A = this chain, B = another copy of it.
Amino acid sequence: MTDDPFSPRGFSETGHGPLYLQLQRRIADAIASGRLGPGDSLPPEREMASMTGLSRVTVRRGVQELVASGQLVQRRGSGTFVARKVERLEQALSLLTSFTEDMARRGRSVESRWIGRGLFAPSPEEVMALGLGSADRVARLERVRLSDGLPLAIERASLSQQVLPRPDQVESSLYSVLEARGLRPVRAVQRISATNLGAADAGFLQVAPGAAGLRIERISYLPSGQVIEFTRSLYRGDAYDFAVELKSAPDTDRRPG
């Protein structure tokens, strides 16, 4: 069918599930088929409601998941639009580089908006990860990372005060500051998981609350084995791919028998 998704026909027929899911499917199909293209506006919610014969609450509910998954964008006072394609960026996981260097290598602009920067009393998590003493203070760098104007990640880095006594001196790349002090990490361990973004973090990344994000915890080491950096990052799930190459485990290459 090449009909518009908002005709009242077909709604409420039994066996097709909840009405809000039926509407959601229609809109998703319209986007997938190209009937609705990037940047196109959808009718106002009240109009979608009257067109479909559904209530506005039900329309909003149908639209909601498409907003959360990044297919639609809503702007208060403005309207609902089909999201412009966000080109996925790939980051090679096997290389230990900083966000700044990574983007520069691709010829992309890098900006940061600082959320917080300073010396603090460490959290128990930071004491654990950085091996701090009870009297130590921790340097925290919290920022939103943007590339070509698009917010891509929230980065929360913690370092011992001894490693970074003046966090306010970090302007762009943390790693370049560390390198200037002869403290560039050469090894790191990362843990990657997925999480639903809370309202605050979603706001920083300009996505809907509940949207999926990639959470990465990284602990970086000096050649000496000393821990130097503990960073928790949240990447936009719709804008970032991590790529990694795997090799077979040595002990499973050959089997007895």
List chain B residues, Cβ under 8 A from A210: 65, 68-69, 196, 210
Most buried by B among A97, A192, A211: A192
Q: Which of A180-204 contact B (CB under 8 A)?
A: 184-196, 198-199
Select the stretch in A4-12, A44-52, A111-119, A248-256 that faces chain B.
A248-256
What number of copies of this chain does the assembly contain? Answer: 2
Q: Which of A194-227 contact B (CB under 8 A)?
A: 194-196, 198-199, 209-214, 218
List chain B residues, Cβ under 8 A from A187: 245-248
* A189 to B92 Cα, complex, angstroms: 10
List chain B residues, Cβ under 8 A from A185: 248
A128 at the interface (CB under 8 A from B): no
* A249 to B199 Cα, complex, angstroms: 36
Report A74 CB to chain B, min CB distance, Å: 16
Contact between A246 and B188, CB atoms less than 8 A apart: yes
> A47-71, CB under 8 A of B: which get 1 and which 0?
0000000000100000001001100
A196-B196, A196-B237, A214-B214 are known; give 17 further A-B pairs, CB within 8 A.
Answer: A57-B57, A68-B210, A90-B191, A94-B244, A95-B247, A96-B249, A101-B252, A185-B248, A187-B245, A190-B246, A191-B242, A192-B214, A193-B214, A193-B240, A194-B214, A195-B212, A244-B244
